[in-house]
Chains A and B, each alone.
Chain A
Amino acid sequence: MFYYPVGTVIARGLGGTVEGAGAVGAILGSEFYVGVAADLFRDPAAVPAGIRGWIQAGFPRVDFGLIGFTVYQALYSTLASLALGLPGAYLLARYSFPGRETLKSLTMLPFVLPSIMVAVGFVAMFGDSGVLNDLLGALGFGHVSAMYTLEIIVLAHAFYNAPLITRIVGAAWEGIDRSMLDTARGLGASPTRAFVDVAVPQLLPAVLTGALLTFLFTFMSFPIVLALGGLQLATVEVWLYSHVQQLDLAQAAGLAVVETGITLALTYAYLRYESGQQGLTGIGRGPNRRPLFGSLRDPRRIGLLAYGIIVVVVFLGPLSSMIIESVTGPSGLTLEYYAFLLERQLTGAAFQVKPLPAITQSLGFGAATLLVALPMGVTVAVLESKQFPGSRVIDALLMAPLAVSGIVLGLGLLQGLVFGTDVLGHSIRITGPVAIVAAHAVAAYPFVTRTVSPLIKRVDDRLIESARVLGATRERARRDIELPLIVPGIVAGAALAFAISIGEFDSTVVLAEGSGRYTMPVAVERYLGNRTLGPATAMGTVLLTVTATSFVVIDRVGGWWEP
């Protein structure tokens, strides 16, 4: 019964097939969505001739349509994330420096940073009146128009996913047994050769895992593309949202099925690949770390210094730009945007987005999400720790929320439950807020499970048995011994679930459409349409404060998600 929300979503996603079966065909046969590949679905027999024609025409640029563009940008984003993330993995694995642990835990930040806020940060930095252009203007350089380009989307995706790459690859790198490299050296390999022969084969699976996850996430990415690309550079997800907004639900359902088919296939590939990679990990001594700070005559240190500067610009730039923009107006420092938020609260019309309901409703949804996601996540973690036939199914179910895009989830809940569904002749309807909480809980509970289950696995059976023999009943032993040992994971999982709920945008924006049930990220997006960046950045800063607090809680308590 804990799988009810997930099950609902998947059933609804598949339910969409029935209604949208015609739509799926229409989409696959449409040049708009798939470009020239449309012929493949409309008239497969004509394909060889088409390819011959293409070759004869001298390989002109091929347009694969909306889906083609989505894949294309995800590919670029993945490459950019690898480029930005891999040096970080090298840095964390091979160098020691003060703040190393802090930096390591900061790589978890993207999981709690609301993506709409990151988008606002990028607008604040690279937008027409953003910090970058202000700086360039002050220095007497020309104007840079970075908005609505593929580059800025890719950069924002790299911001989001490079830390993931750093985290996964860095962990694998630290797990490589130093004595294996020493053995290769002893057998006559040069340091480079030893690295290529021994370390690279062990790193490659982690790199591919990270790349596959990044591709999956960027394929489904929504707020960043919406805010930075607009409809000119729309991906499947943005187009889907635009259909939902226009209440063109049949088209939307068809597109949702196509998208979910692709993301499920990617997730399946990821799971298959990951399960084949359970090798010798984490038993050896990690690599030797050299101090980071030392002679700059070492070219590697110069490289890392350059990398550090890039990291500061890419990661701190957008966030600080957002804060800067929120307190600077045309006439210098100002608090007028925060004042605007207050004023809108006091005098705003009913149809206008007020800040206070956004904050209180966000907090309310966050709390409600906790009530659902926490017991759900802990129960799944307990089930997962018991080795029984089908426990692998749970692993797959845990990945499912990652595999289904937020818009599709929102759509499923909207169509299936909010609009009502007939079960055994009874019409079942739930209200918008309940659907929003369900969507948030589904997105959040895997993270609770992921933080709790390693701790459950670490509780030695002998501890429980010792307590039993000393006189404790089974239940008492669990309460006295097991519970205190997994509490840190539960607290960290709670903070993570709360932060995810606060930052969730994709499903919420679908479910909150046209209602007063907006949250902080939705408010940020609606303010983003304003003439100035002020209100959006001010709201974003409030959002940053809330999520940063959650982050500090998680970091203090520990128990981070290890993918």
Chain B
Amino acid sequence: MTALELDGVSKRFGEEQALESVSLAVEEGEFFTLVGPSGCGKTTTLRIIAGLTEQSSGTVRLGGESMAGVPPEERNVGIVFQNYALFPHMTVAENIAYGLRFHDPPGGGTVEERVTELLELVDLPDFGDRDPETLSGGQQQRVALARALAPGPDLLLLDEPMSALDARLRDRLRRTVKEIQTALGITTVYVTHDQAEALAVSDRIAVLNDGRVEQVGAPEAVYQAPANRFVASFVGDNNLFEVASVDGTVARTTEGLEIVVENASPGDTLAVRPENIHVGQDETTLQPTVESVEFHGTGYTLYCQIEGRELLVAADTYPDEPVTVGFSREAVQVLSGTAANE
């Protein structure tokens, strides 16, 4: 069943078109992520869903009902902001209980029981009487999550909730969020600029760019089959080549490199992931110069130069110079046309 539907939602801020006809459908219980560079409109989309910003045109439906004219307090959603936004003049327990002033505690218990239940859910059982400012960033974020969940919302909205935290804490909290989401089965819309994070936790992702939806799909599908040049370059590392001319199965790029590929035509973009390029010869063989090498624990990233452009190669071993790298025609994705925006 569709829990959330956006139908042709557009938003203008004065002269600026923040969103252009965004249409999305999020299924019940799904963990859905909006990902894109800053300024792409993902936070605006989230705010329109919550009713905090009004769209210029288009329809938002929650549980099949149009939300036109419905104020945020009547939409029964929960929201967690990047900066936590805990009420500084209330204790942790009072923060969590705030939404219960307007909703009966789900499950029929008392407010105290609900607060205790949520403190245990976010693993902060003894923190009820503390003031928010005495908590660490990660703890504050878990309180914010508990506060959003307390009234039992139909939909959970997370606006870059991890980006103020350091990397290790972010990974741990991300797992906590995912576990809680799975346990409660609550429909979740997650906003992030971090594509790796989006790939890691989501059931499906929507890639946004410049107010438009570029691609919607499961993380694996978006990674392996990007719909266009923008998605190919934004999601994961990639090497992109523009095709100048084609002779049978050999495409000649604008730099003059020859790449063996099926079904390419001039004007297309070819995308080759660094991990699909290996050291040694193949159908396409290149002899770049290695500029620098980074070690990643599981392998090496080679930053190479060839014909005046950069080439990224993921290698298992430290390369000997001069290096020869190659890839098969199966490693090459053909993206028709060159996107204007990159």
Distance in Å from the Cβ of A485 to the closest Cβ of chain B? 6
Contact B99 A471 (CB under 8 A): yes
B14 to chain A, nearest CB (A): 14
Chain B residue contacts of A468, Cβ below 8 A: 51-52, 71-73
**Are B73 and A472 in contact (CB-based, < 8 A)?**
yes
Determine the distance from Cα of A195 to Cα of B102 in the docked complex, in whole angstroms.
57
A460 within 8 A of B: yes
Give which listed residue, B77, B89, B99, B102, contacts A485 with CB less than 8 A.
B89
Whose C-beta in chain A lies nearest to the C-beta of B73?
Answer: A471
The answer, yes or no, to whether B79 is at the interface (CB within 8 Å) is yes
B4 vs chain A, min Cβ distance (A): 15
Q: How far is the CA of A244 from the CA of B73 in the complex (A)?
A: 60
B residues less than 8 Å from A466 (CB atoms): 79, 81, 85, 87, 144, 147
Would you give the 0/1 interface string for B139-166, flagging 1 where the beta carbon is closer than 8 Å to chain A? 0000010011011000001000000000
Instruction: Decide yes or no: A471 and B89 within 8 Å by CB, A465-B52, A466-B79 being known contacts.
Output: no
The verdict on A471 contacting B102 (CB below 8 Å), with A460-B83, A462-B83, A485-B88 known, is: yes
Q: Is A137 an interface residue (CB 8 A)?
A: no
On chain B, the number of residues with a Cβ less than 8 Å from chain A's Cβ atoms is 27
Please give, as numbers and ranges, the residues of chain B lying within 8 Å of A470 by CB-CB distance.
73, 78, 98-99, 102, 147-148, 150-151
Contacting A at CB under 8 A, from B97-134, are 98-99, 101-103
The residue on B at minimum CB distance from A474 is B71
Within 8 A of B (CB), among A465-501: 465-474, 480-481, 484-485
With both chains docked as a complex, state the minimum distance between the C-beta of A209 and any C-beta of chain B, in angstroms: 32
Alpha-carbon gap, A389 to B79, bound state (A) = 32
Residue-wise interface mask of B (165-178) relative to A, using a CB-CB cutoff of 8 A (1 in contact, 0 not): 00000000000000
Instruction: Report Cα–Cα, A473/B70, bound state, in Å.
Output: 12
CB-CB under 8 A for A469 and B103, given A460-B83, A462-B83, A463-B85: no
Contacts of A467 in B (CB 8 A): 87, 98
Question: Which A residues are in CB contact (< 8 Å) with B151?
Answer: 470-471
Partner of A465, one of B72, B89, B98, B150: B72
Interface residues of A in 430-461 (CB under 8 A from B): 460
| Contact between chains at B83 and A469 (CB < 8 Å) | no
Across the interface, do B77 and A469 meet the contact criterion of CB distance under 8 Å?
yes
- B130–chain A nearest beta-carbon distance, Å: 18
| Complexed CA–CA distance, A243 and B79 (Å) | 66
Assembly CA distance A466 to B71 (angstroms): 13
Instruction: Tell me the complex Cα distance, A472–B88, Å.
Output: 17
Neighbouring A residues of B79 by C-beta, 8 Å: 465-466, 469
A273 to B25, CA, bound (A): 55
A478–chain B nearest beta-carbon distance, Å: 13
Is A472's CB under 8 angstroms from B102's CB?
A: yes
User: Cβ of B85 and Cβ of A473 under 8 Å apart?
Assistant: no
Query: Separation in Å of the B231 CB from the closest CB of chain A?
Result: 30
Task: Let me know if A463 and B52 touch, CB within 8 A.
Answer: no
- Please, what's the 1-or-0 string for A229-249, where 1 marks a CB less than 8 Å from any CB in chain B? 000000000000000000000
Q: Which residues of B contact A485 (CB under 8 A)?
A: 88-89
Q: Complex Cα distance A480/B102, Å? A: 12
Give the Cβ gap from A451 to chain B, nearest Cβ, in Å: 18
> What is the CB-to-nearest-CB distance from B32 to chain A, in angstroms, rounded to a whole number?
18
Known contacts being A462-B81, A462-B83, is A469 close to B88, with CB within 8 Å? no
B contact residues around A480 at 8 Å (CB): 98
CA distance A222 to B267 in the complex (A): 82
Contact assessment for B85 and A465 in the assembled complex, using a CB-CB cutoff below 8 Å: yes
Q: Which residue of B lies closest to A463 (CB)?
A: B85
B89 touches A462 (CB 8 A): no
Q: Which residues of A contact B157 (CB under 8 A)?
A: 469
Report the bound CA distance from A462 to B85 in whole Å: 6
Contact partner of A473 among B71, B77, B83, B150, CB < 8 A? B71
Residues of A within 8 A of B102 (CB): 470-472
The closest CB in chain B to the CB of A477 belongs to: B73
A274-310 to B contact mask, C-beta < 8 Å, 1/0: 0000000000000000000000000000000000000
Compute how far the CA of A150 lies from the CA of B51 in the bound complex, rounded to whole angstroms: 66
Chain B residues with CB below 8 A from A471, complex form? 73, 99, 101-103, 151
B 58-91 to A, binary, CB cutoff 8 A, 1 in contact else 0 = 0000000000000111010111010101011100
Instruction: Write out the residue numbers on chain A whose beta carbons fall within 8 Å of the beta carbon of B150.
Output: 470
Shortest Cβ distance from A300 into chain B, in angstroms? Answer: 37
Q: Are B98 and A463 in contact (CB under 8 A)?
A: no
Chain B min CB distance to A387 (Å): 14
List residues of chain A with CB within 8 A of the CB of B77: 469
* 9 additional A-B residue pairs with CB within 8 Å, beyond A470-B78, A471-B103: A462-B83, A463-B87, A467-B87, A467-B98, A468-B51, A468-B52, A469-B73, A471-B99, A472-B73
Nearest 8 A-B pairs (CB), nearest first? Answer: A471-B102, A470-B99, A462-B85, A468-B72, A469-B79, A462-B81, A466-B85, A484-B89
15 inter-chain pairs at a CB distance below 8 angstroms, sorted by A residue, are A460-B83, A462-B83, A462-B85, A463-B85, A465-B52, A465-B79, A465-B81, A465-B85, A466-B147, A468-B73, A469-B52, A469-B79, A470-B73, A471-B99, A471-B101
Interface residues of A (CB under 8 A from B): 460, 462-463, 465-474, 480-481, 484-485
B residues at A contact (CB < 8 Å): 50-52, 71-73, 75, 77-79, 81, 83, 85, 87-89, 98-99, 101-103, 144, 147-148, 150-151, 157
